[in-house]
Structure 1
Amino acid sequence: MYNLGIVTIVIIAANVIMSFKGFDDRLFFEKYKFNVGSIIRGEQIRMISSGFLHADTTHLLMNMITLYFFAGTVINQLGNFNFIIIYMASLVFGNLLSLYFHKEEYWYSAIGASGAVTGILYAAILLEPSMSLYMFFIPIPIPGYVFGIGYLLYSIYGIKNRVGNIGHDAHFGGAVGGYALTLLLMPSLFKTDLGHVGLLAIPIIILFVMYKTGKLR
């Protein structure tokens, strides 16, 4: 299957190995999870390592299935090396935004590849905005760009209202990373698909405006 290239296999394997190690070894899990206090004290490795840990097998499976379905689009159009750049940069972008929003909460912790995976998802949507996506509760296909915009608008709602035990800020930051890196690596999109580039930027602009006006604080 074209989605399951060697790079995708390696990333999935790394997530599985690290996550299962964390399931069995609580000290390992605590040492490498995202934790604001520990990162501020200098343990920056957590900015990366936390993205390969998961809460349980369901959490791991959800992220890896999403990665599997969208990795191929990014790899086919940008290549393996650029795929890795987007994946890792989105992971870091997601954790940076989370660190920024929670910088006063030294106890705040998080784990999961969601930021990196959301970056790949948003990159894939930017590359193929008209791709059809199906949701469990909607019986008709949704254009990729509509899903992407809706997902980030929901993430803004989740950030503002702290909905559920979910790192909405990491998801949003990851999407921004995927969006920015894809445009940097393929600037021709500004000429060939400026409309969708602009539409997918709307949630990013909204978050920025809400933060500047104090509506997220």
Structure 2
Amino acid sequence: MDISLIIIIAINCLVSFKGFNDLSFFRKYEFHVGSIRAGEQIRMFTSAFLHVDIAHLAFNMLTLYLFAPYVIGNLGMPPFIIIYLGSLIFGNLLTMLLHKNDYNYRAVGASGAVIGIVYAGILLEPNLEIYFMPGYIFGIIYLLYSIYGMRAKADNIGHTAHFGGAIGGYLITISQVPQLVSQNTLAVILLAIPIIILFIMAKLGKL
């Protein structure tokens, strides 16, 4: 495992375990719309290293561990870090945009960053098998499910951050490897469809 990946996983674990055992620390650095709008923008970054519980942390870190090699193997470590951090920011920016008037909205987790890495891996390896289906098919289903979750608001999953992270992973990866548009055209087009749907729905006030 690459040392940079180990460091990212270690930071997530250390910060999360601190949050598990220190509620004031958790509250100080979680994503909280009211606090961010009051000037605590650091929460846009720190919240992505906190997790609700060990299961939440383990799932995100396992997913990152499984998909990071596809990105690192194809692009190298610097682009991997750019995609990870960029997807983190995309996820929280979209969350802030869509929940800016919900001052009590709270969220934590690396999911946006991790999903960005997942989508980068899918773009780079579109036939990568995920749950017995090609990666790009999984990506479409996942984004459509995220739109449903954003509209339904029936659970505590940060669907908005997931979607924003996927957009970040999609755009940054293509900017890093523009030839993917010609090499993996079908996957690039199909994965863009849910993103276009999201922006149309947002424009129409359906989210």
Q: TM-score w.r.t. structure 1 length?
A: 0.94
User: Which runs of structure 2 are paired with 1:63-212 in the superposition (5 Å)?
Assistant: 63-134=60-131, 141-212=132-203
1:40 is the counterpart of 2:31:
no
> RMSD across aligned C-alpha pairs, in angstroms?
0.7
Q: 2 CA distance for matches of 1:65 and 1:193?
A: 27
Q: TM-score w.r.t. structure 2 length?
A: 0.98
Q: 2 CA distance for matches of 1:125 and 1:32?
A: 31
- Give SS of 1:177's match: helix
Deviations 1:80-132 (A, max 9, x none): 01101100110110001111111001111100000000000011001111111
Q: 1 CA distance for matches of 2:147 and 2:154?
A: 10
- Give SS of 1:14's match: helix
Match of 2:59 in 1: 62
Q: 1 CA distance for matches of 2:164 and 2:205?
A: 19
Give 5+ residue unaligned stretches, structure 1. 135-140
1:27 is the counterpart of 2:18:
no
1:12 is the counterpart of 2:13:
no
- Give SS of 2:47's match: helix
Q: 1 CA distance for matches of 2:195 and 2:34?
A: 27
Amino acid at match of 1:149: I
- Give SS of 1:157's match: helix
Query: Runs of 4+ in structure 1 displaced over 4 angstroms?
Result: none
Q: 1 CA distance for matches of 2:184 and 2:135?
A: 14
Deviations 1:155-177 (A, max 9, x none): 00000111310110000000000
- Give SS of 1:105's match: coil
Shift of 1:210: 1.2
Deviates most, 162-171 or 173-182: 162-171
Give 5+ residue unaligned stretches, structure 2. none
Identity percentage of aligned residues = 60
Q: 2 CA distance for matches of 1:52 and 1:163?
A: 24
Aligned residues: 207
- Give SS of 2:133's match: strand
Match of 1:138 in 2: none
